[in-house]
Structure 1
Amino acid sequence: MRVLVTGAYGFIGAHVTAELTKAGHEVTCAVRGARVDSRFPGLAAVACDMARDTAVEDWLPRLAGIDAVVNCAGILRETAQQTFQAVHERAPAALFAACAQLGIRRAVQISALGDASDGEFIASKHRGDLALADLHLDWLVFRPSLVYSASGSYGGTSLLRALSALPGLLFLPGKGGQRVQPISAEDVGKAVVSALAASAPVRQTIELVGPQVTTLREYLLLWRRWLGFAEPHVIETPNWLAHAASTLGERFGNGPLGLTMARMLERGNVGSPNALEYLQESLGFAPKHLARVLDESPSHVQDRWHARLYFMLPALRIAVAMLWILSGVVGWMLPAEAVAQSTAGVSWPATAMLALARGTATADIVLGGLCLLRWRSRLVLSLMLLMVFGYTVGIGTLWPVHWLDPFGGLLKNLPLLVVLSLLIATDERR
């Protein structure tokens, strides 16, 4: 079949695309325009924007020659450009209505397992499911529990991996008894492949869950052993502290740590009592146990790097931003006489040197603030890199004596250049 997959470069979407390709389907990846790249070099890709493509007419040209549609698009957090209503409701509704108009019967929606009261992420996903159910299509809605993969991670799965990999410690909200029923992303992809079979059920909502209900403590410890780290000292954090951290993440963060994830864990992200049996009967395959998936996919050093760097890279970014801001503040507080003294021997007028010092101090503060806000992150980090390079070359050339400063001011710029290059290289989130 010729299948259009929205969100094909996302964590779940990429695994769905891979499994469909393995099964012999011809996949077209529908992804945001700026991301039409070589993620799947042998597959066709079309640009779309789920935040804006909310009219049936937006989707009709993209569905030419398509036999089935799988919607994997979704966002964990709202931004000014992307809202739950647009991405989870209006754009999918337009896509599926276009399918109905063109006679494309088979439609699969990747939703989310949970209670609508846990947050707007879940609620908007479920409203999108209801809109699809009202159409005369052979639809299937999949609601997966916690989705993981041994071959990569994103969002909440990356956060949980990182928590499991903290040096020597394992922090657990409460006693870590929160229940989850994890399913591998590969099995989610296999479920989609089964959904496209002629014998597959239609017009149903199916919970995608793994074969074992486990606690958060057991889940994290299993990942830690897979990563090859020693048994940790477990610290059971009070529930109020975990809630406070989730509240801060909700208010100031842009990652998976937030109140929705906290509520889902507190309630228990597990399927209904007969969910696994119904999944096996309706789709004809049995999801694998987490332990078996990990045993079949040994970890690599890159997995350990990613897990450990998850918290370290943001900390490094904050440290660099604060260095820039404080350097700018010091630059403004430096008296004019001190500026003139430090630039003695330069033929430029003292007023020009003072203006240059104040201007670079202002640039430091602006770039440091933008770095904290992650505004056009790669651009800001690149400007910082150019600034340090300019400082080093300019001062080192005009005042070579500074290479011999007792505190190594210029020499310290060399590792800073490497740090900024590292932040630029790891800026991608997917």
Structure 2
Amino acid sequence: MRILLLGAYGFIGLAVARRLQQAGHDIVGFGRDLDLGQRLAPDLTWTGTDLSRLSSEASWQPYLDGIDAVVNAAGALQDGARDQLAASQQRAISALIAACEARGIRTFIQISVPGADPAAKIAFLRTKGEADSALQRSALDWIILKPGLVIGANAYGGTALLRMIAAFPLVQVLAFGKSRVQTVAVDDLADAVDACLAGEVPKRATFDLLAAEPHTLRDLILKLRRWLGLPTPTATFDLPAPMASGLARLADLAGWFGWRSPLRSSALDILSRGIVGDPTPWREATGRDLVELDVLLSRLPSTRQERIFARSQLVLPGLVLTLASFWLLSGLIGLWQWREAVAILPPSISHGLAASFVILGSLADIAIGIGFLFRRWLIRAALAAIAVSLVYLAAGTVLAPSLWGDPLGPLVKILPATALAVAVMAIAEER
């Protein structure tokens, strides 16, 4: 079959694409960033746009030519600068369902989530539930899969969050440690989608897709810590709810700057209520048991790269805020004390030229600092920081070489700031 796969370069989508390709299907990957899709899966056919733009049946028609089935593996956790849940997870998917009915595309596999309900208070669960309900009201041959916490060799979203928490140094900090969580291997989820398309699963049915054994969040994180090969923590304790809520509010604020932090309030709300379901209907319908967490972790690679990823995700927010603060303060102080800065430059430079150099440099510093705060500008801000730092070093060496011997080290301190920008560029990739 020729299958339109929404969210094909995501954590789940990539695994599904690979499994369906192995089964002989022709996959058309749908995503917002086609360049990213081509890099991650160059052997797929790619199409797409921002889902929030596809709010009508007619808007979907160009994407359905030659399509035999649709699999929806797309999803966003929370509203922010880059995501509008009502538009992308409810209106767009409802319009796609109507378009499939109009085109005679019968098969639609929806990857949802336990707890999805049109009446849910959490927007992520509510919009997923509204899309599920629209599909259930349709005349299509639909199947809704509701996977638990999806775990695989790759990591994104909730899986990345738990690895990040597990990498906390010395002690193990938790939130909602008593919450119950059931997991599912991403490969089991991909196999389930393949089974649905192969006609091995009853149609017009909803299935929780998760291993039978629940774990407390505390036990799950400690298992991940052991799997990563990290030292046993000297102590384990839960963050007080107000502190966890405060961190979530900061992460929510970062969301409006384009940062999809896994610490946002929706993620913590979902973890606090638990991720549980009933695997019995799936087992009875298919005869398949899903791999338990301990077996899954024993099969996954646990190498230096997994440890470095977990630790880098833990420190990345602090690195970005440090760079943003450094450049913003550098620029603001330069504007505030521009006369003192001009006095450092050699008298051979005219006062007007020196003042222009100081003011323009300060404005450039402020622009770089602001750039570090926005996710979409991060790499460009880091490149600008490196370039401007090299200009400052060259100019300082030529115009005021005595600064190299200054006990406060104004030129020497540019070197670690430049190295920090390089480090952020190296670990800032989202997928």
- Aligning the two structures, in what range does the TM-score lie when normalised by the shorter sequence? over 0.9
Equivalent residues in 2 for 1:31-42, closer than 5 Å? 31-34=31-34, 35-42=36-43
Q: Deviations over 1:238-293 (max 9, x none)?
A: 3343334334433455422233223322322100xxx2121122234221011111
Q: 1:250 aligns with which of 252, 258, 261?
A: 252
Q: Secondary structure at the match of 1:147?
A: strand
Q: Distance in 2 between matches of 1:215 and 1:103?
A: 45
CA contact (8 A) 1:118 1:264 kept: no
Q: Structure 1 pair 252/377, CA: closer, same or farther in 2 (3 Å)? A: closer
**CA 1:340 to 1:31, structure 2 compared with 1: closer, same or farther past 3 Å?**
closer
Alignment match, 2:88: 87
Instruction: Give the Cα separation in 2 of the matches to 1:426 and 1:95.
Output: 36
| Distance (Å, rounded) in 1 between the aligned partners of 2:299 and 2:29 | 28
Matched, 1:343 2:337: no
Q: Secondary structure at the match of 1:183?
A: strand
User: Identity across aligned pairs (percent)?
Assistant: 34
- Partner in structure 2 of residue 270 of structure 1: 276
Check conservation: 1:195, 1:283, Cα contact below 8 A.
Answer: no
Q: Give secondary structure in 2 for the equivalent of 1:383.
A: helix
Give aligned pairs, total: 423
Match of 2:44 in 1: 43
The whole-number CA distance in structure 2 between the counterparts of 1:317 and 1:251 is: 15
What's 1:403 paired with? 404
For the residues of structure 1 that align with 2:231 and 2:341, how far apart are their CA atoms?
53
| Aligned residue among 165, 171, 174 for 1:172 | 174
C-alpha change, 1:79 and 1:238, in structure 2 (3 Å) is closer
| Corresponding position of 2:216 | 215
Query: Paired residue for 2:265?
Result: 259
Task: Quote the Cα distance in structure 2 between the aligned partners of 1:61 and 1:252.
Answer: 35
* Shift of residue 305, structure 1, vs aligned partner: 0.5
TM-score, structure 1 normalization: 0.93
Q: Structure 1 residues 280, 296: closer, same or farther in 2, change over 3 A? A: same
Secondary structure of the structure 2 residue equivalent to 1:230: coil
The corresponding residue for 1:299 is 302
* Aligned position for 1:358: 359
Note closer, same or farther for the CA distance 1:381–1:206 as it changes in structure 2 (3 Å cut): same
Q: Which residue of 1 aligns with 2:370?
A: 369
Cross-structure match for 1:28: 28
Amino acid in structure 1 at the alignment position of 2:179: Q
Secondary structure of the 1:24 match is coil
Tell me if structure 2 keeps the 8 A contact 1:339–1:357. Answer: yes
Contact 2:30 2:46 survives alignment (8 Å) = yes
For residues 165 and 343 of structure 1, what CA distance do their matches in structure 2 show?
Answer: 47
Q: What is residue 382 of structure 2 aligned with on the other side? A: 381
Residues 6 and 31, structure 1, Cα contact 8 Å, conserved in 2: yes
C-alpha RMSD of the superposition: 2.0
Contact 1:181 1:211 in 2 (8 A): yes
The answer to whether the 8 A contact 2:8-2:37 is kept is no
Structure 2 partner of 1:121: 124
Superposed displacement of residue 407, structure 1:
3.9
| Matching residue of 1:334 | 337
CA contact (8 A) 1:9 1:31 kept: yes
- Higher mean Cα deviation, 5-14 or 237-246? 237-246
Does the aligned pair in 2 maintain the 1:36–1:46 contact within 8 Å? no
Other structure's SS at 1:207 match:
strand
Determine helix, strand or coil for the equivalent of 2:189.
Answer: helix
Q: Using a 3 Å threshold, how does the CA distance of structure 1 residues 244 and 316 change in structure 2: closer, same or farther? A: closer
For 1:191 and 1:335, how far apart are their aligned partners in 2? Answer: 65
Q: Any idea what SS the aligned residue of 2:207 has?
A: strand
Structure 1 unaligned blocks of 5 or more: none
Identify the residue that residue 142 of structure 1 maps to in structure 2: 145
Change (3 A) 1:48 1:60: same
Task: Tell me how far apart the structure 1 counterparts of residues 374 and 228 of structure 2 sit (CA, whole Å).
Answer: 32
> Within 2, Cα distance between the matches of 1:32 and 1:26?
20
| Match of residue 130 from structure 1 | 133
Range with greater deviation from structure 2 (90-99 or 212-221): 90-99
1:178·1:216 contact (CA, 8 Å) conserved in 2?
yes
* Counterparts of 2:288 and 2:2, CA distance in 1: 23
Secondary structure of 1:37 counterpart: helix
Contact 1:146 1:183 in 2 (8 A): yes
